[in-house]
Amino acid sequence: AAAFGTSRALAWAQDRLVSARRAAFAEELVVAERMRADAEASRDAEGLSEAIDQLGEIEERISRDRIGALVTDIARVRRDDALGAARRLMAAHAASRHVLEVQFEGESGFGSGVTQNFYSTVASELIAAEESARTPLWLGGGGGSGVGNDEFAGGLFPRPLNPHAAATE
């Protein structure tokens, strides 16, 4: 967890603590959420205010003792240009110490799940036959049909870089 510096190690440790506290307060959160939903359904403004206050207090107890948060940069990309967007993002964001989160244009999702989906999409595009032929990043698995992931049926291994080659895109 410390490979990215002390701020990331601290954030990781804090996230683990918050997850444990959230689990400890799970029942209280469910009750408060139920109160909020009931008050909302019955249009009870006073009950809704009370439920929201209670939810806020529980969230404060869960998150207390936090020292800070990592700075997050959010990038919006087109899903149909994930690989091109990844190239541009990595070039622009490589020197940054901020967390990079990705959102897809025209979609409402955000957070680590969407960001992980972005990287999975990029990885799939990198091992596609056409891209793999254009940018040979992987040692061939042999025995495959040479189409898409079949090429790497025996496993996916990175191709070693030539230490004397000039840096490329």
The pLDDT tens digits for 73-102 are: 899 999 999 999 999 999 999 888 888 999
Q: Which residues contact 37 (CB under 8 A, 6 or more apart)?
A: none
Helix (H, G, I), strand (E, B) or coil at 24: helix
Distance (Å, whole) CA 86 – CA 163: 24
* Whole-number percent of the chain with pLDDT over 90: 33
The pLDDT tens digits for 108-141 are: 888 889 999 999 999 888 888 788 788 888 886 5
- What is the CB-side half-sphere exposure of residue 116 using CA atoms within 13 A? 3
Collect contacts of 145-150 with beta carbons under 8 A, ≥24 apart.
none
pLDDT score, position 5: 76
* Whole-number percent of the chain with pLDDT over 70: 86
| Total residues found in the chain within this entry | 169
Is the pLDDT reported for residue 144 higher than 60?
no
pLDDT score, position 39: 92
pLDDT score, position 142: 46
Helix (H, G, I), strand (E, B) or coil at 139: strand
- Among 7-21, 42-56, 64-78, 145-159, name the one with the lowest average pLDDT: 145-159
* 45-63 helix and 6-24 helix, angle to the nearest 10 degrees: 130
List the domain boundaries for the chain. 2-63, 71-127, 135-169
